[in-house]
Amino acid sequence: MSGPYGGALFSTTAYDANDSMFPLAFGVMSLENYEDWLWFLEKLKIVVGNKEVIIILDKHLAFLHSVPEVFGLENHAYCYCHLKENFSSFLSKHNTRGNKGKENGLQFLDNIVYARGWKMLGIPCEHVEAVIISIGQNVIDFVDDCYKYPMQELIYGGSFFGIETHDMVRSIIGEVLLSLKPPHIKCPPGRPRKKCIESQFQDK
Protein backbone atom coordinates (compact mmCIF):
# COMPACT_ATOMS: atom_id res chain seq x y z
CA MET A 1 0.00 0.00 0.00
CA SER A 2 1.20 3.52 -0.78
CA GLY A 3 0.82 6.50 1.51
CA PRO A 4 2.51 7.57 4.73
CA TYR A 5 1.41 4.52 6.74
CA GLY A 6 2.45 1.82 4.28
CA GLY A 7 1.36 -1.70 5.09
CA ALA A 8 -0.17 -4.41 2.92
CA LEU A 9 -3.79 -5.02 1.95
CA PHE A 10 -4.80 -8.69 2.14
CA SER A 11 -8.00 -9.73 0.40
CA THR A 12 -9.76 -12.87 -0.74
CA THR A 13 -12.35 -13.07 -3.49
CA ALA A 14 -14.35 -15.82 -5.12
CA TYR A 15 -16.30 -16.28 -8.34
CA ASP A 16 -20.07 -16.14 -8.16
CA ALA A 17 -22.41 -17.90 -10.60
CA ASN A 18 -22.21 -14.95 -13.02
CA ASP A 19 -18.42 -15.34 -13.28
CA SER A 20 -17.99 -12.08 -11.35
CA MET A 21 -15.81 -11.39 -8.33
CA PHE A 22 -17.41 -11.85 -4.90
CA PRO A 23 -15.41 -10.40 -1.95
CA LEU A 24 -15.04 -12.69 1.06
CA ALA A 25 -12.66 -10.91 3.44
CA PHE A 26 -9.96 -8.26 3.62
CA GLY A 27 -7.46 -7.01 6.17
CA VAL A 28 -4.77 -4.36 6.51
CA MET A 29 -1.44 -5.73 7.75
CA SER A 30 1.96 -4.29 8.54
CA LEU A 31 3.91 -6.56 6.18
CA GLU A 32 3.40 -9.43 3.76
CA ASN A 33 5.07 -12.06 5.91
CA TYR A 34 4.34 -15.52 7.25
CA GLU A 35 2.86 -14.39 10.58
CA ASP A 36 0.42 -11.91 9.00
CA TRP A 37 -0.68 -14.36 6.31
CA LEU A 38 -1.17 -17.08 8.90
CA TRP A 39 -3.35 -14.80 11.05
CA PHE A 40 -5.42 -13.71 8.04
CA LEU A 41 -5.94 -17.26 6.77
CA GLU A 42 -6.96 -18.47 10.23
CA LYS A 43 -9.70 -15.80 10.29
CA LEU A 44 -10.72 -16.78 6.76
CA LYS A 45 -10.96 -20.41 7.88
CA ILE A 46 -13.48 -19.34 10.54
CA VAL A 47 -15.58 -17.66 7.83
CA VAL A 48 -15.64 -20.57 5.36
CA GLY A 49 -15.85 -23.26 8.06
CA ASN A 50 -15.52 -26.83 6.85
CA LYS A 51 -16.41 -26.03 3.25
CA GLU A 52 -13.95 -27.30 0.67
CA VAL A 53 -12.11 -24.38 -0.90
CA ILE A 54 -9.55 -24.06 -3.68
CA ILE A 55 -6.87 -21.46 -3.01
CA ILE A 56 -5.39 -19.78 -6.10
CA LEU A 57 -2.16 -18.03 -5.18
CA ASP A 58 1.15 -16.75 -6.38
CA LYS A 59 4.44 -18.26 -5.24
CA HIS A 60 5.16 -15.85 -2.38
CA LEU A 61 7.09 -17.88 0.20
CA ALA A 62 5.04 -16.61 3.15
CA PHE A 63 1.84 -17.65 1.36
CA LEU A 64 3.20 -21.03 0.31
CA HIS A 65 4.04 -21.91 3.92
CA SER A 66 0.91 -20.55 5.61
CA VAL A 67 -1.79 -21.90 3.25
CA PRO A 68 -1.03 -25.64 3.80
CA GLU A 69 -0.89 -25.06 7.55
CA VAL A 70 -4.47 -23.75 7.65
CA PHE A 71 -6.19 -25.36 4.64
CA GLY A 72 -4.07 -28.45 4.04
CA LEU A 73 -2.16 -29.41 0.92
CA GLU A 74 -5.02 -30.43 -1.39
CA ASN A 75 -6.97 -28.41 -3.95
CA HIS A 76 -4.66 -25.46 -4.47
CA ALA A 77 -3.47 -23.85 -7.69
CA TYR A 78 -1.18 -21.08 -8.86
CA CYS A 79 -2.53 -17.88 -10.41
CA TYR A 80 -2.11 -18.08 -14.18
CA CYS A 81 -1.34 -14.36 -14.53
CA HIS A 82 1.55 -14.65 -12.06
CA LEU A 83 2.79 -17.82 -13.74
CA LYS A 84 2.71 -16.19 -17.15
CA GLU A 85 4.55 -13.09 -15.93
CA ASN A 86 7.21 -15.18 -14.20
CA PHE A 87 7.57 -17.46 -17.23
CA SER A 88 7.88 -14.46 -19.54
CA SER A 89 10.56 -12.93 -17.30
CA PHE A 90 12.43 -16.26 -17.26
CA LEU A 91 12.41 -16.48 -21.07
CA SER A 92 13.55 -12.87 -21.43
CA LYS A 93 16.35 -13.37 -18.92
CA HIS A 94 17.70 -16.45 -20.67
CA ASN A 95 16.97 -15.12 -24.18
CA THR A 96 15.30 -18.36 -25.25
CA ARG A 97 15.42 -18.24 -29.08
CA GLY A 98 14.77 -14.49 -29.03
CA ASN A 99 11.30 -12.97 -29.19
CA LYS A 100 9.93 -15.81 -31.33
CA GLY A 101 10.79 -18.40 -28.70
CA LYS A 102 9.18 -16.25 -26.03
CA GLU A 103 5.97 -15.92 -28.07
CA ASN A 104 5.84 -19.68 -28.65
CA GLY A 105 6.35 -20.36 -24.95
CA LEU A 106 3.57 -18.01 -23.87
CA GLN A 107 1.25 -19.40 -26.56
CA PHE A 108 1.96 -22.89 -25.22
CA LEU A 109 0.76 -21.79 -21.76
CA ASP A 110 -2.36 -20.21 -23.27
CA ASN A 111 -3.20 -23.45 -25.08
CA ILE A 112 -2.95 -25.44 -21.85
CA VAL A 113 -5.31 -23.07 -20.03
CA TYR A 114 -7.77 -22.94 -22.96
CA ALA A 115 -7.93 -26.73 -23.11
CA ARG A 116 -8.99 -26.85 -19.45
CA GLY A 117 -11.55 -24.06 -19.80
CA TRP A 118 -14.59 -26.38 -19.83
CA LYS A 119 -13.44 -28.20 -16.70
CA MET A 120 -12.62 -24.98 -14.85
CA LEU A 121 -15.66 -22.88 -15.83
CA GLY A 122 -18.28 -25.56 -16.31
CA ILE A 123 -19.28 -24.09 -19.70
CA PRO A 124 -18.33 -25.87 -22.96
CA CYS A 125 -16.02 -23.93 -25.27
CA GLU A 126 -16.88 -23.27 -28.92
CA HIS A 127 -15.18 -26.43 -30.20
CA VAL A 128 -16.99 -28.63 -27.69
CA GLU A 129 -20.31 -26.94 -28.51
CA ALA A 130 -19.83 -27.76 -32.19
CA VAL A 131 -19.18 -31.42 -31.37
CA ILE A 132 -22.21 -31.61 -29.03
CA ILE A 133 -24.50 -30.13 -31.69
CA SER A 134 -23.07 -32.42 -34.38
CA ILE A 135 -24.05 -35.52 -32.36
CA GLY A 136 -27.57 -34.18 -31.79
CA GLN A 137 -27.23 -33.35 -28.08
CA ASN A 138 -28.38 -30.25 -26.18
CA VAL A 139 -25.51 -27.96 -25.14
CA ILE A 140 -27.39 -26.90 -21.98
CA ASP A 141 -27.17 -30.47 -20.67
CA PHE A 142 -23.37 -30.14 -20.61
CA VAL A 143 -23.36 -26.87 -18.63
CA ASP A 144 -22.59 -27.19 -14.91
CA ASP A 145 -25.63 -27.20 -12.62
CA CYS A 146 -24.33 -24.17 -10.69
CA TYR A 147 -25.44 -21.92 -13.58
CA LYS A 148 -28.99 -23.26 -13.73
CA TYR A 149 -32.06 -21.84 -12.02
CA PRO A 150 -32.54 -24.40 -9.18
CA MET A 151 -28.99 -23.86 -7.92
CA GLN A 152 -29.23 -20.10 -8.37
CA GLU A 153 -32.40 -20.10 -6.28
CA LEU A 154 -30.58 -21.97 -3.51
CA ILE A 155 -27.66 -19.54 -3.63
CA TYR A 156 -29.57 -16.25 -3.65
CA GLY A 157 -32.93 -17.23 -2.16
CA GLY A 158 -31.95 -16.57 1.46
CA SER A 159 -30.58 -13.55 3.31
CA PHE A 160 -26.96 -12.53 3.77
CA PHE A 161 -25.89 -11.24 7.17
CA GLY A 162 -22.65 -9.65 8.31
CA ILE A 163 -20.28 -11.85 10.29
CA GLU A 164 -19.94 -10.74 13.90
CA THR A 165 -16.41 -10.84 15.30
CA HIS A 166 -15.09 -10.64 18.85
CA ASP A 167 -13.25 -7.35 18.32
CA MET A 168 -16.11 -5.24 16.93
CA VAL A 169 -16.52 -1.82 18.53
CA ARG A 170 -19.66 -1.96 20.68
CA SER A 171 -21.76 0.96 21.90
CA ILE A 172 -22.50 0.46 25.60
CA ILE A 173 -24.11 3.21 27.69
CA GLY A 174 -21.67 4.58 30.24
CA GLU A 175 -18.58 3.11 28.61
CA VAL A 176 -16.16 5.25 26.66
CA LEU A 177 -15.21 3.76 23.32
CA LEU A 178 -11.53 4.13 22.53
CA SER A 179 -10.86 5.71 19.17
CA LEU A 180 -8.54 3.95 16.77
CA LYS A 181 -5.22 5.66 16.24
CA PRO A 182 -3.12 5.43 13.06
CA PRO A 183 -0.11 3.13 13.10
CA HIS A 184 3.41 4.39 13.63
CA ILE A 185 5.10 5.60 10.46
CA LYS A 186 8.27 3.75 9.47
CA CYS A 187 10.14 5.14 6.48
CA PRO A 188 11.48 2.43 4.15
CA PRO A 189 15.16 2.54 3.17
CA GLY A 190 16.22 4.25 -0.04
CA ARG A 191 14.55 6.90 -2.14
CA PRO A 192 10.75 6.84 -2.39
CA ARG A 193 9.38 5.32 -5.57
CA LYS A 194 7.99 7.83 -8.05
CA LYS A 195 6.15 5.44 -10.38
CA CYS A 196 4.31 2.16 -9.91
CA ILE A 197 5.74 -0.96 -11.51
CA GLU A 198 3.28 -1.79 -14.29
CA SER A 199 2.45 -5.32 -15.29
CA GLN A 200 3.49 -6.25 -18.81
CA PHE A 201 -0.12 -7.37 -19.41
CA GLN A 202 -1.61 -4.07 -18.25
CA ASP A 203 -3.47 -2.07 -20.88
CA LYS A 204 -1.41 0.93 -21.92
Helix, strand, or coil (residue 10):
strand
Q: What is the mean pLDDT of residues 139-143?
A: 90
Distance CA 41, CA 70 (A): 7
Same domain for 4 and 74, yes or no, is: yes
Q: Which residue has the higher pLDDT, 90 or 195?
A: 195
The range of the structural domain enclosing residue 147 comes to 116-159
Q: Is the pLDDT of residue 195 over 70?
A: yes
Clarify whether residues 73 and 26 are in a common domain. Answer: yes
Indicate whether 65 pLDDT > 60. Answer: yes
Terminal-to-terminal C-alpha distance of the chain: 22
DSSP run (H or E) holding 92: helix 80-94
Note whether residue 16 is domain-resident: yes
How far apart are the C-alpha atoms of 124 and 116, rounded to whole Å? 10
What pLDDT does 176 receive?
A: 46
Residue bearing the bigger pLDDT, 179 or 69: 69
Instruction: Examine the domain organization and report whether 129 and 66 are in the same domain.
Output: no
Instruction: With respect to residue 190, please indicate whether it lies within any of the assigned structural domains.
Output: no
Is the pLDDT confidence value at 175 over 60?
no
- In the chain, what are the helix, strand and coil shares in percent, each to the nearest 5? 45, 10, 45
Structural domain includes residue 177: no
- Please tell me the predicted confidence (pLDDT) of residue 91: 66
Q: Is the pLDDT of residue 49 over 60?
A: yes
Q: Does 168 reside within a domain?
A: no
Q: Is residue 203 part of a domain?
A: no
Domain count within the chain: 2
Query: In the prediction, which pLDDT does 138 show?
Result: 92
pLDDT of residue 201: 64
What mean pLDDT value characterizes the chain? 72
For 21, 86, 90, 201, the CA distances from 63, given in Å and listed in that order, are 21, 17, 21, 23
pLDDT, one tens digit per residue, over 110-128 is 665 555 667 777 888 777 7
More confident residue, 59 or 23: 23
Q: What is the mean pLDDT of residues 51-71?
A: 71
In a domain, 201, yes or no: no
53 domain-assigned: yes
192 assigned to some structural domain: no
For a pLDDT cut of 70, what percent of the chain falls above it? 56
Q: What are the C-alpha distances in Å from 131 to residues 118, 135, 142, 171, 180?
A: 13, 6, 12, 62, 61
pLDDT at position 55: 72
Q: Is the pLDDT of residue 174 over 70?
A: no
Query: What is the rounded CA–CA span in Å between residue 104 and residue 145?
Result: 36
